[in-house]
Chains A and B, each alone.
Chain A
């Protein structure tokens, strides 16, 4: 059965317990961080994922005056149902497990970094010291022991909760029917971390994606490339026919005028 996590950011209070729990369980060393300099994200710290930061809370200020509110958005690998990172990885070092986590096999990785560009959520990071890809593991080791991921276990408000994926989708759908916005049910073919929020998640900075899974995305792109190729080939053919006709016409006019070619040093092709 495939596990998934519901991230209900309406319940998040920004305590960062999940951030700390992740650091501790995954033995991530501390690193020097600074507050995010982007207006509206000022209290976000650390301000991005890194090889030592598998997850962080993005502090997003929205509105003004009495309407001002903070939204706390947990960022980590979304453990896509059909992961973009795994679909581009040439070595199959990344793969989706039946239990839910997208796993990384360090033995196979050649360090090409294609997964970094192939991930639709900008998640994988390359550790330049250890020469490996780093990203949230969904605490696959804890899952194997029947435990919840460290961040889910640490969350004091129930903003993070783990269930089977179909249950998560049901919970998300029922929140939606009550006016909430959801993200991850369909995006990029679906993810195993599904968000619920009171404002659209794309307004909080999650990328706008359609529901195409990686195979459909590549097929679609390939079709467009092919179509352009056909149009281009047609245009080239048309140009060829036109220029042949034109040069034939020019030759005829030239011959009828009875003029002779001045060129002796470099006769053009077909005129020798």
Chain B
């Protein structure tokens, strides 16, 4: 219904979003583990733990959405790896490898092999693959020559930054609500980490806003821009901008001000505002992908 007759509809938008979300959560989590304090590990674990289900569900949706469901057998689906110069083949390869490595990282966490050098190596490989997975949806669209609205080199970077923002939001959301329940075996010194996460998110939102502006300018000549900015898709696009970027930025900015003035964040404010802003960032991520994906096809 919401696909407006486009060949790639809502489910593909959801798949592109989930792939980015999973990759983003992994990049955030593993970066925290590699470069953050030891006491922040709960967040790092959350990132790894949530990355593969997101990517896995995304892949599942992609397969369900294929146009020939009667042929969705493993041997037939292997055909997707036939053309190494197709971005879809490259993307499928990246997704498969990323899925394996994020699962492996989670195994390392579950067995508490915390100081293992091997885990660090796996995480570096996983982060690299994560960047590939986060960039691939944008490249997939940018390489499609029949869609002028997608033909912009800014698109892959927009999707990458969006993936990291949504990854930050997912990790933040998990910590806000499930941190103590899900990961009681980790230390609780995550307050600092949450403050850093919030700062990074604000920076990410600003970067996303900038890249989105540059992207729109780069495709300004196309007629699709009118449909997306002022036509049928405008509610989705502007909801993504206002709800997914501006409001969360304002919430996080206000939190930072309070922190600067008082030296602490009121717990109640923290929880509720963080939840709202994280959820808005996630919704914004999917709405933006949806508007761009459908906008390129109608």
**A interface vs B, CB < 8 Å?**
84, 87-93, 108-114, 116-122, 126, 128, 131-132, 188, 209, 214-215, 217-218, 221-222, 224-225, 227-229, 232, 261-269
When the two chains form their complex, are residues B146 and A117 in contact, meaning their CB atoms are under 8 A apart? yes
Please indicate the chain B residues that have their CB under 8 angstroms from the CB of A261 in the complex.
Answer: 263
When the two chains form their complex, are residues B143 and A88 in contact, meaning their CB atoms are under 8 A apart? yes
User: In the complex where A90-B86, A90-B92 touch, is A225 in contact with B66 (Cβ < 8 A)?
Assistant: no
CA distance A131 to B70 in the complex (A): 9
User: Does B183 have its Cβ within 8 Å of any Cβ on chain A?
Assistant: no
Interface size on B, residues (CB 8 A): 48
Q: Which of B55-84 contact A (CB under 8 A)?
A: 66-71, 76-77, 79-83
Contact of A112 among B69, B80, B191, B263 (CB under 8 A): B80
- List 22 interface pairs A-B (beta carbons < 8 Å), by A numbering: A88-B86, A92-B79, A108-B79, A110-B66, A111-B67, A113-B7, A114-B86, A117-B7, A118-B146, A120-B146, A126-B67, A131-B68, A132-B68, A225-B153, A225-B156, A232-B157, A261-B263, A265-B263, A265-B264, A266-B192, A268-B195, A269-B196
When the two chains form their complex, are residues A90 and B81 in contact, meaning their CB atoms are under 8 A apart? yes
Give 1 or 0 for each of B249-285: 1 = CB within 8 Å of chain A CB: 0000000000100111100000000000000000000
CA distance A152 to B99 in the complex (A): 51
Contact of A110 among B76, B85, B147 (CB under 8 A): B76
User: Does B87 have its Cβ within 8 Å of any Cβ on chain A?
Assistant: yes
Chain B residue at smallest Cβ distance from A120: B145
CA distance A121 to B263 in the complex (A): 60
Please give the distance in Å from B7's CB to the nearest CB on chain A.
Answer: 5
User: In the complex where A126-B67, A131-B67 touch, is A110 in contact with B77 (Cβ < 8 A)?
Assistant: yes
Q: Which of B12-44 contact A (CB under 8 A)?
A: 37
Contact of B144 among A109, A118, A209, A269 (CB under 8 A): A118
Give 1 or 0 for each of B171-210: 1 = CB within 8 Å of chain A CB: 0000000000000000000011001100000000000000
Helix, strand, loop or mixed for chain A's interface?
Answer: loop
User: In the complex where A110-B71, A228-B154, A261-B263 touch, is A118 in contact with B79 (Cβ < 8 A)?
Assistant: no
User: Does B151 have its Cβ within 8 Å of any Cβ on chain A?
Assistant: yes
Please give the distance in Å from A52's CB to the nearest CB on chain B.
Answer: 17
Please give the distance in Å from A135's CB to the nearest CB on chain B.
Answer: 13
Chain A residue at smallest Cβ distance from B191: A266
CA distance A111 to B67 in the complex (A): 4
Chain A residue at smallest Cβ distance from B76: A110
CA distance A157 to B249 in the complex (A): 66
Please give the distance in Å from B27's CB to the nearest CB on chain A.
Answer: 14
User: Does B89 have its Cβ within 8 Å of any Cβ on chain A?
Assistant: yes
When the two chains form their complex, are residues B88 and A111 in contact, meaning their CB atoms are under 8 A apart? no
User: In the complex where A116-B146, A117-B8, A218-B143 touch, is A111 in contact with B66 (Cβ < 8 A)?
Assistant: yes
User: In the complex where A110-B71, A126-B67 touch, is A90 in contact with B263 (Cβ < 8 A)?
Assistant: no
CA distance A264 to B153 in the complex (A): 46
Besides A132-B68, A232-B157, 8 more A-B contacts (Cβ < 8 Å) are: A87-B85, A90-B79, A90-B80, A109-B68, A111-B69, A117-B297, A266-B192, A268-B192
User: Does B142 have its Cβ within 8 Å of any Cβ on chain A?
Assistant: yes
Please indicate the chain A residues that have their CB under 8 angstroms from the CB of B153 in the complex.
Answer: 221, 224-225, 227-228
Please give the distance in Å from B202's CB to the nearest CB on chain A.
Answer: 13
Please indicate the chain A residues that have their CB under 8 angstroms from the CB of B89 in the complex.
Answer: 90
Please give the distance in Å from A94's CB to the nearest CB on chain B.
Answer: 10
Nearest 7 CB-CB pairings of A with B: A111-B67, A263-B263, A111-B68, A224-B153, A117-B144, A265-B264, A90-B88
CA distance A91 to B79 in the complex (A): 5
When the two chains form their complex, are residues A89 and B83 in contact, meaning their CB atoms are under 8 A apart? yes
CA distance A93 to B67 in the complex (A): 14
CA distance A113 to B3 in the complex (A): 15
Please indicate the chain B residues that have their CB under 8 angstroms from the CB of A84 in the complex.
Answer: 145-146
When the two chains form their complex, are residues A112 and B146 in contact, meaning their CB atoms are under 8 A apart? no
Chain B residue at smallest Cβ distance from A229: B157
CA distance A210 to B105 in the complex (A): 46
When the two chains form their complex, are residues B142 and A112 in contact, meaning their CB atoms are under 8 A apart? no
User: Does B139 have its Cβ within 8 Å of any Cβ on chain A?
Assistant: yes
Please indicate the chain B residues that have their CB under 8 angstroms from the CB of A117 in the complex.
Answer: 7-8, 141, 144, 146-147, 150, 296-297
CA distance A60 to B199 in the complex (A): 57
CA distance A261 to B259 in the complex (A): 12
When the two chains form their complex, are residues B263 and A262 in contact, meaning their CB atoms are under 8 A apart? yes
Quick one: which of A112, A225, A229 has the most chain B CB within 10 A?
A112
When the two chains form their complex, are residues A221 and B151 in contact, meaning their CB atoms are under 8 A apart? yes
When the two chains form their complex, are residues B83 and A112 in contact, meaning their CB atoms are under 8 A apart? no
Chain A residue at smallest Cβ distance from B264: A265
Contact of B263 among A126, A228, A266, A269 (CB under 8 A): A266
